Amino acid sequence: MKHFDSKKFRQHFPLVCGNPRLNTQVKGLSPLVYLDNGATTQKPACVIACYQYFYQNINANVHRASHSLSTKATIAFEQTRDTVRAFINAKSNKEIVWTKGTTESINLIASSLGKKILNVGDEIILAVSEHHANIVPWQLIAEQTRAVIKVLSLDATGKADLTEFDKLLNNKTKIVCCAHISNVLGKINPISEIIQKTKSVGAITIIDGAQSIAHFSVDVQTLDCDFYVFSAHKMYGPTGVGVLYGKEALLDVMPPYQAGGEMIKTVSLKEQTTFNSLPFKFEAGTPNIAGVIAFAEAVNFINQYNTIEITEYEQQLTQYCYQALSKIARVKFIVEKMPDIPVIAFTVKGHHNHDIATSLDSYGVAVRSGHHCAMPLMEYLNISGCLRVSMAPYNTFVEIDYFIKCLMKIIQQENDSSIEVVSNNVSIENGLTSTEIINQFSNIKSWDSRHREIMLLGKQLERLDKNLRNEQSLIIGCESLAWVIATKNAQGVFYFQSDSDAKIIRGLLVIVLAAFNGKTALQIKSFDINTYFESLGLMQHLSPSRGNGVLAIVDKIKKITRV
């Protein structure tokens, strides 16, 4: 086993090695500082090489042919199953089912087991902090079976509340679902206690390990959970590969989730079809063979290192970042106390989360903003969303310093009215035209300057009366809440008013409205919005979700002016 050295560890990641910050240039500006590891981790060179090697040397389907190439692929594929079995200490390879990810694993359990064991009035307990992937599948099954969902609250530190759990647990409880660690809060839930308490009423435990699997060793036999699910891509492996661990006795009685090739033993049009043995009856169709085989490399890569040493380094990163954030007056953590893994959620007073995240992106710092697929948790905490910084062992203290420096700079810039960017000083009160916007952006070369100009435009947008911000004016598909209303004069010319709770969206609204204000319905319909955006150098710099939000604004305007 290798001694963990953060600098040497970092060298294994092509996106990381050779630079105090990540090598990759973001939008031609600052090197990328990747602090979104809770969403997905970067991949070591051995995983990338293995993926490529499969397609170059042993590409063939598995289990289905007698030729040597298929045999090689099948052996490597099944060896990965054994590698993962050993990694989590499952009893048998039959208990390891390949899926596309944690989400599909939970859907498989909900559909196959849920339909089998749930009846009218039966209860499912879910923690309020669960990811949508561990909520929505159970809502669908509960609706179909007329089961009831009970919600487990949290204590002040953000962990599942055992006292409340005792109150919810009863003889009607059939399924308990809980994340090992919340993807937002970074707190380790009292899983062992929950599992043991659940056993007392004979209910099934399903543990979402998506956030925990990369941070410490997991022993499913010691936990004694019924199911444990996780994704390869959150532990340095490929995307599109997930693991469903289930106790063999439970998997054995569960019906197949999908039907097709590989999951059958015999098919007949005259007699009943019979299904394959475990785990194959849950693996219909051609799997992600290259991804599964490359996943073995990720597991072997992790197994090289002393996990205790990695955990200690992660704790140092967490404490360093948490303390640095706590010194910023406007930062507010969404729950009490430092998280257990390097996942830190917070808000910045007076600033929208998306504005902060977009501004950080202009400096090359990648963080997450929004509800993080945990909308019930946001509602429970009475916030609309938050920022999330999530670190991995290849991150450095230098990167944290850079992130903190950029965050403080952004907060200061927002409070400093003297800051100006290149502008032709056209008064927005008179309504900027598309030509004026194009001219205004033509002198701006870098994305960070463009971003700051958009933010400046957002400050100048006249806010919409709160009474006009309603369901009718709401723009569906925009990343942040946004609204637009239209008035039409006697000549059929439209004028628009709009608003958003995020400055970056308000700035984008100004840009979009400049294209459509003062035009008739026919002129709006014929206006080439894509060429307009291209001339501004806009869309290629926006995240897909924000780019889709801009297009949603356009669609809303065209809908309300449709002739």
> Which sequence positions are flagged as catalytic?
373
Beta strands in 153-252 (DSSP E): 173-179, 204-208, 227-231, 242-246
Report in angstroms the alpha-carbon separations of 368 from 317, 352, 415, 499, 508.
18, 13, 23, 23, 20
In whole angstroms, give the CA distance from residue 493 to residue 13: 56
Distance CA(126)–CA(134), nearest Å, equals 8
Q: Does residue 279 have a cis peptide bond before it, meaning omega lies within 30 degrees of 0?
A: yes
Number of CB atoms found within 10 A of residue 178's CB: 25
- The strand pair at 227-231 and 204-208 is best described as parallel
Give the contacts of 553 (CB within 8 A, at least 6 positions apart). 475, 478, 482, 484, 498, 508, 509, 512
Q: Report whether 245 contacts 52 (CB < 8 A).
A: no
Other C-beta atoms lying within 10 Å of the C-beta of residue 556: 23
CA 452 to each of CA 265, 463, 499: distance values in angstroms, whole numbers, following the listed order? 62, 19, 18
**CA nearest neighbour of 406 among 361, 453, 345, 350:** 361
Beta bridge partners of 346: 333, 387
Contact 366, 35 (CB under 8 A): yes
Distant-in-sequence, close-in-space partners of 123: CB < 8 Å, separation ≥ 6: 147, 148, 149, 150, 168, 170, 172, 173, 174
The DSSP call for residue 57 is I
Residue 339 to residue 187: CA distance in whole angstroms = 5
Eight-class DSSP state of 16: T
Site of tokens 């955006």 = 533
